[in-house]
Amino acid sequence: MNTERKIPLILDGDPGHDDAIAWVLAASDPRFEIKAITAVAGNQTLAKVSENCRKIAALLHLDIEVAKGREIPLIADLMTGGDYHGETGLDGAELPAPEHPYSSRSAVALMADVLRESEDPVIIVATGPQTNVAALLLAYPELKPKIRLVSIMGGGLRNGNWTSAAEFNILNDPEAAYILFHAGVPVLMCGLDVTEQAMIYPAEWQTLRGLHNRVADTVAAWLDFFSIKLKELGWEGVTLHDPCAVLALSHPEIFTMKDCYVDVLLDGEYTRGLTMCDWNGRTGHAPNCRAVLGLDREKFVSLLIEACRGFGGGEENA
């Protein structure tokens, strides 16, 4: 990414510990300008994740509108991820109270206005189910040229995590994912192929506590909480899924990527939500996404630590 003008971003997600950490990374990068935060039901109910969005905005001193999005997927029933993210969807750290009321606009209306009003095309970083994004694409197809890219955490070209075939965000709303992948807008896909390699280990996140700033301490506390359930499942650290969708934009050099055709399977007892990659180009379809497949883990972790360091030291803990 090399630009003199700031790149406008919309952060759409279901925070969620890793969504929140992704937004810390986005807020820390002076090359980005966060235009809006939009909440979507996923890791917890819409009411809970929306509240988390406002608290994260307060933590990061983001003076932007936060809008509530879709309460349920387009067609499917909502599955929440409370086992991983706790009762609030973002358990583990005391957060500042929200500074602003919710936007009077819905997530889709706010996204549409941001796109319409932006001089430069906008990147949408979607780290929850793609429900809001699909609703936007259906309601305002004329705004597609204003979307520079949709960077998602979702899917897995070789495996799932919620079922053998499907990843949580895609399985929550496969129809929304299908609409996105067939919309003709550029998609950057960080699936489990890369995100399960994006590990941070306890000794690494302990260093955040030495930075003496509230954002770093909060990230460390989030990681402590997020690690509890993952440890029960045999993971030695935390898989930082959603931060990949931001760092693959800001630091593509630490990732490997491949342009390919990806389709989303909508039925089958075992296959609903599977993201199918046409690895060898046998379908004859042109690539519809850039899939992120690997990363330099140590550089990834040091970028997170440096981002947290950038939020200053000392005074906020006083």
Which residues does the annotation mark as catalytic?
241
Burial 110-137 (b: 16+ CB within 10 A, else e): bbbbbbeebeebbbbbbbbbbbbbbbbb
- Tokens (6 digits) for 69: 């999005």
User: Is residue 86 near ligand BDR by the rule CB under 6 A?
Assistant: no
Among 111-119, 163-171, 260-268, 302-310, the segment contacting ligand BDR (CB under 6 A): 163-171
**Contact predicate 292/256, CB 8 Å:** yes
User: Is residue 168 near ligand BDR by the rule CB under 6 A?
Assistant: yes
- Comparison of 80 and 127: residue with beta carbon closer to Ca ion: 127
Q: Which of 12, 19, 65, 204 binds Ca ion (CB under 5 A)?
A: 19
Binders of ligand BDR: how many residues, by CB under 6 A? 14
Among 11-19, 30-38, 52-60, 208-216, the segment contacting ligand BDR (CB under 6 A): 11-19
Estimate to the nearest angstrom the gap between the alpha carbon of 282 and the chain centroid: 30
- Tell the smallest beta-carbon distance from residue 16 to ligand BDR (Å): 4
- Comparison of 239 and 288: residue with beta carbon closer to ligand BDR: 239
- Tell the smallest beta-carbon distance from residue 128 to Ca ion (Å): 5
- Tell the smallest beta-carbon distance from residue 119 to Ca ion (Å): 29
User: Is residue 193 near ligand BDR by the rule CB under 6 A?
Assistant: no
Mask of contacts with Ca ion, 209-248, x by CB under 5 A? Answer: ---------------------------------x------
- Tell the smallest beta-carbon distance from residue 14 to ligand BDR (Å): 6
Beta strand segments in the chain, E = 7-13, 32-39, 65-68, 122-126, 147-153, 187-190, 199-200, 238-239, 255-260, 262-264, 275-277, 289-295
User: Is residue 44 near ligand BDR by the rule CB under 6 A?
Assistant: no
Burial 253-271 (b: 16+ CB within 10 A, else e): ebbebbebbbbbbeeeeee
User: Is residue 129 near Ca ion by the rule CB under 5 A?
Assistant: no
Q: Which of 152, 242, 246, 305 binds ligand BDR (CB under 6 A)?
A: 242
- Comparison of 211 and 223: residue with beta carbon closer to ligand BDR: 223
Residue 274 sits at φ, ψ, to 5 deg, of -70, 135
Report what 217 binds from ligand BDR, Ca ion, none; CB cut-off 5-8 Å by kind.
Answer: none
Identify whether 184 is preceded by a cis peptide bond (ω within 30 of 0). Answer: no
At residue 304, what is the residue type? Answer: L
- Comparison of 211 and 248: residue with beta carbon closer to Ca ion: 248
User: Is residue 69 near Ca ion by the rule CB under 5 A?
Assistant: no
Q: Which of 123, 126, 153, 264 binds ligand BDR (CB under 6 A)?
A: 153
**What is the number of other CB atoms lying within 10 angstroms of the CB of residue 233?**
9
For residue 49, give the DSSP letter. Answer: H
- Comparison of 123 and 192: residue with beta carbon closer to ligand BDR: 192
170's CB contacts (< 8 A; 6+ apart) are 129, 130, 154, 155, 177, 264, 273, 275
- The residues binding Ca ion (CB under 5 A) are 14, 16, 19, 127-128, 242
